[in-house]
């Protein structure tokens, strides 16, 4: 059995380029006991994966050079030597970027395609959805009528976080990088106001205008100048949900910027950095609520699906130029 | 009755200078019903007062130009038209920098000089002590064996915070600006390790050496480069007690420095900015525990007492050059 895979050819310096990826062909071995053979259906590309391309200790282990990139994958079982899976089962796993792969059954979770499209398990019913859920419900905790500001609002996490904040009764302001994204957030996802940070002359003032009562919760996916502008609009006792910092993931040196601590001090702000795995013992609660809201129609979803295994590097690179509306993922033929 | 007072002559630009203060003489009016006449005994100088000299909205209102500076004062009642106070009572209040003043009785709190020296009510049994108490007990929450790092450790808040962390069973590392201060912290106050940030070649490395298990709690009184160095040593799920930022209080522009959010994110750090008044409904609990520890001898105290009303500006300015060991205050003849 032959598979195509994508390995890390070299570690990127700054913004990744195509030369950092290499396509390879690989012969798969025969299945051993308790293993399954998988055909990839959807492969996820996520901003946090950029950190894994560096040779720096972080919460997720580094990818090895000459070894496959790996991440969230929804796949179909096409052969099984496990009692837990039979042919045709749809599963989620942290798997290599490969058209076919062999995996131990204990590393896979069966997903139910009758409850939601399989791709949803990489997004709204997967890590991005859970990230949004715990960030809003456990850290931001918006009260009815409070103002929640979300950066990277049109991304996989932001688009869900904003809607969950709406479900909690908050006034929700999304920051995004195009009028098209801003219109989508208001028209399709119920955001109350938006700020296009690329066309605003002063992001700080635009946020102030969009938040007449100031910001009580800030859900940060981006960092950098946008975050500095939001911080100047935080209310007393605001909660800062530190979820992502995509603006600096490609930095080659520690970025420099205005020091925000004095402002966090005088406003008695609570900031919590988090990664979704901190909440692994509550994933069932999160997935249960997310699925309920999706079924009720109170939580809508958006995917940008790129077609073709060959397009994986492009899709990943597109995350850093904001090409995705909602969750970016790749559908494998 | 004639009083001397110190008014804000002009708002400082950067580091305050003597010209920002003006000594005046003032005739006090006759006491009205419910008022008391007070003679100042001890006047507190505190870093947060620098912020009140600016014309910027913050948690404490700005001082007015040509009006008296005001802050914590311990005073003796020398005439009373209030049923709550009699001559000779020792009281605490937020009072003008003046040798004598008249105050409404409801703005004063009687203190018991038989329990502790009156000056203690400006420090360990006052705002600095309560700040240390709630910062450690409510935000930092060190567990037995965890490492707590304290910047500005030899100051009024730091010296108490470190000892409370010790009482909680933590390993406590203090950062201060001289060997004399560092030795004092270890020899007199039970700190486990210290870092002299002025002589260290790399504060980051010195902290790493002083914290072989990394830092679980950071109690920050100073901000700036010291804080950047501590952040690089924070453990997963560390708590960042954001209490003071004295290194930037004299800044004329928003200071610029390395962006620390990515590190707070990957380490899942919780940061809480706070001001002691957030805990006003728990002051009795705090003061009760502080007094108990002082009486038991588990909490020691240190004051730098400058003598003479004329020395108030000097004492205040000395805070920013680190002249104080423990609490800085001025004794009035």
ipTM metric:
0.93
Q: Looking at beta carbons, which residues of chain A come within 8 Å of B248?
A: 259, 262
Residue A58, pLDDT above cutoff 90: no
Interatomic CA distance for residues A261 and A228, integer angstroms:
11
Domain ranges in chain A with CATH number 3.90.180.10: 2-123+302-331
The confidence score (pLDDT) of residue A7 equals 98
Read off the pLDDT of each residue in A52-63 and give the average, rounded to a whole number.
86
Interatomic CA distance for residues A240 and A135, integer angstroms:
10
Residue A254, pLDDT above cutoff 90: no
Residue that is written with structure tokens 């009486």 in the block: B295
Residue B57, pLDDT above cutoff 80: no
Read off the pLDDT of each residue in A107-120 and give the average, rounded to a whole number.
94
Chain A and chain B share a number of CB contacts under 8 A equal to 106
* The Cα angle at residue B261 between residues B258 and B265, in degrees rounded to 5: 145
* The Cα angle at residue B270 between residues A52 and B152, in degrees rounded to 5: 115
pLDDT (tens digit per residue) in B176-233: 999 999 999 999 999 999 999 999 999 999 999 999 999 999 999 999 999 999 999 9
pLDDT (tens digit per residue) in A218-227: 999 999 999 9
Residue A214 contacts B, CB cutoff 8 Å: no
DSSP-assigned letter for residue A257: E
pLDDT (tens digit per residue) in B127-179: 999 999 999 999 999 999 999 999 999 999 999 999 999 999 999 999 999 99
Determine which helix (DSSP H) or strand (DSSP E) holds B284, and give its type and residue range.
helix B283-296
Query: Nearest-CA neighbor of B46 among B332, B312, B331?
Result: B312
What share of chain B in percent tops pLDDT 70? 100
Q: Looking at beta carbons, which residues of chain A come within 8 Å of B51?
A: 266
Residue A47 contacts B, CB cutoff 8 Å: no
Residue A258 contacts B, CB cutoff 8 Å: yes
Spatial neighbors of A18 by CB under 8 A, at least 6 apart, are A313, A317
Residue B308, pLDDT above cutoff 80: yes
Query: Nearest-CA neighbor of A319 among A35, A31, A1, A46?
Result: A46
pTM listed for this prediction: 0.94
Residue B214 contacts A, CB cutoff 8 Å: no
CA dihedral sign, ordered A72, A75, A79, A81: positive
Residue B59 contacts A, CB cutoff 8 Å: yes
Structural class in CATH, domain B2-123+302-331: alpha beta
Mutation target among B204, B262, B267 for the A interface, most CBs of A within 10 A: B262
The architecture of the domain spanning A127-277 is: 3-Layer(aba) Sandwich (3.40)
The confidence score (pLDDT) of residue B56 equals 82
Q: Looking at beta carbons, which residues of chain A come within 8 Å of B269?
A: 271-273
The total number of residues shown for chain B amounts to 333
Domain ranges in chain A with CATH number 3.40.50.720: 127-277
Mutation target among A262, A274, A275, A277 for the B interface, most CBs of B within 10 A: A262
Q: Do A259 and B262 touch (CB under 8 A)?
A: no
The confidence score (pLDDT) of residue B59 equals 74
DSSP-assigned letter for residue A140: I
């Amino acid at each position: 059995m032959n598979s195509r895979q994508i390995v890390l050819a070299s570690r990127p310096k700054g913004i990744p380029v195509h030369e950092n990826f290499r396509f390879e062909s690989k012969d798969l071995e025969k299945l051993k006991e308790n293993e399954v053979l998988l055909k990839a259906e959807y492969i996820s590309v996520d901003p946090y994966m950029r950190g894994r391309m560096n040779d720096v200790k972080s919460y997720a282990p580094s990818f090895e050079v000459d070894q496959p990139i790996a991440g969230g994958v929804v796949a179909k079982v096409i052969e099984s030597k496990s009692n837990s899976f039979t042919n045709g089962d749809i599963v989620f796993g942290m798997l290599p970027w490969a058209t076919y792969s062999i995996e131990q059954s204990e590393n896979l979770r069966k997903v139910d395609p009758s409850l939601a499209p399989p791709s949803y398990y990489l997004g709204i019913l997967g890590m991005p959805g859970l990230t949004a859920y715990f960030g809003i419900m456990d850290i931001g905790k918006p009260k009815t009528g409070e103002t929640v500001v979300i950066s990277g609002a049109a991304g996989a996490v932001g688009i869900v976080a904003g809607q969950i904040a709406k479900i909690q009764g908050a006034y929700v302001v999304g920051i995004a990088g195009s009028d098209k994204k801003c219109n989508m957030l208001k028209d399709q996802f119920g955001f109350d106001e938006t700020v296009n940070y690329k066309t605003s002359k002063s992001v700080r003032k635009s946020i102030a205008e969009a938040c007449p009562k100031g910001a009580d919760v800030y859900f940060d996916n981006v960092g950098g100048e946008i975050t500095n502008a939001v911080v100047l609009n935080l209310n007393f006792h605001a909660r800062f949900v530190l979820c992502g910092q995509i603006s600096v993931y490609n930095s080659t040196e520690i970025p420099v910027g205005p020091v925000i601590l004095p402002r966090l001090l005088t406003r008695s702000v609570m900031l919590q950095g988090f990664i979704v795995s901190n909440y692994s013992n509550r994933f069932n609660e999160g997935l249960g609520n997310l699925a309920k809201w999706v079924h009720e129609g109170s939580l809508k979803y958006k995917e940008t699906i790129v077609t073709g295994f060959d397009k994986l590097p492009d899709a990943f690179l597109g995350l850093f130029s904001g090409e995705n509306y909602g969750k970016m993922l790749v559908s494998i033929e």
